[in-house]
């Protein structure tokens, strides 16, 4: 309905793809270079749901920050590490200082989220580029990776969370009635 034929559709897709071609892009910003999750709280939750580690990068004002970040980005795109973790950028370490095994003075922390994505523990930390490598990150990711869950595990997980009083409010309203952490009276689409 939008395109008169397949050739016009293909042409439009091609022109759209050219906008994102690296030759046509100016300098890539640090924020665009890694798939960053906007907050630690959300990062822990997503990482726990996906049974993946969360990599926390601490922003600093040094001239080496750009070099460190680009090196981490390069490592994260290697075949063995691509898609194996989630990433979050923090302005300082205040949010992670209470986590188990935290040690100050590092710029990258690999976290293993707890079962419910509420908190986590530091399984590896890297202070400089000399200590950061594909092998070191692979090792940390293997330690931080939780076993995959089956459907029955998922149901037990939800029941256990309810028993422990753990809830999660979606950032977007759910219109399908599956937002179980809200009471029925707070779901206007279920009212008659």
Task: Tell me the pLDDT of the chain (192 aa) as tens digits.
Answer: 678 888 888 888 888 877 766 554 444 454 457 888 889 999 998 898 888 999 999 887 777 777 888 888 888 888 888 889 999 999 888 898 899 999 988 889 999 998 878 889 999 999 888 888 889 888 888 888 877 766 666 677 777 777 877 776 666 666 665 545 555 555 455 444
76, 75, 53, 71: which is closest to 142 by C-alpha? 53
CA 86 → CA 125, 134, 181, distances in Å? 15, 16, 25
Task: State the pLDDT at residue 71.
Answer: 86
Lookup: tokens for 14: 């091609």
Extents of the domains making up the chain: 28-144, 151-170+179-190
CA angle 50, 130, 143 (to 5 degrees): 30
Task: State the pLDDT at residue 53.
Answer: 93
Task: State the pLDDT at residue 192.
Answer: 42
Question: Global pTM?
Answer: 0.69
Lookup: tokens for 85: 């973790």
SS3 label, residue 94: coil
DSSP code for 100: B
Q: Does domain 28-144 have CATH number 1.10.10?
A: no
Task: State the pLDDT at residue 191.
Answer: 46
| Distance in angstroms (rounded) separating the CA atoms of residues 129 and 126 | 8
Helix/strand/coil percentages in the chain, nearest 5: 35, 15, 50
| Distance in angstroms (rounded) separating the CA atoms of residues 110 and 121 | 8
| 166 CB-contact burial (10 Å; exposed 0-12 / middle 13-18 / buried 19+) | middle
| Distance in angstroms (rounded) separating the CA atoms of residues 124 and 102 | 9
Task: State the pLDDT at residue 30.
Answer: 47
Residue 88 and residue 54 in contact, taking contact as beta carbons nearer than 8 Å: yes
């Amino acid at each position: 309905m939008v395109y008169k034929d397949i050739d016009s559709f293909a042409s439009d897709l091609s022109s759209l793809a050219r906008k994102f071609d690296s030759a046509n892009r100016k300098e890539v910003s640090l924020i665009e270079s890694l798939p960053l999750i906007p907050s630690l709280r959300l990062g822990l939750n997503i990482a726990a749901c996906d049974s993946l580690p969360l990599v926390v990068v601490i922003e600093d004002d040094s001239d080496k920050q750009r070099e460190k970040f680009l090196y981490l980005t390069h490592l994260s795109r290697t075949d063995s590490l691509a898609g194996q973790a989630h990433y979050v950028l923090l302005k300082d370490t205040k949010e992670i200082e209470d986590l188990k095994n935290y040690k100050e003075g590092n710029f990258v922390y690999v976290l293993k989220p707890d079962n419910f994505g509420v908190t986590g523990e530091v399984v590896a930390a890297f202070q400089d580029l000399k200590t950061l490598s594909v092998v070191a990150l692979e090792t940390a990711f293997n330690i931080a990776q939780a076993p995959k869950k089956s459907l029955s595990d998922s149901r037990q997980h939800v029941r256990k969370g309810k028993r422990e009083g753990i809830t999660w409010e979606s950032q977007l309203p759910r219109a399908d009635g599956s937002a179980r952490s809200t009471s029925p009276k707070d779901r206007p689409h279920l009212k008659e």
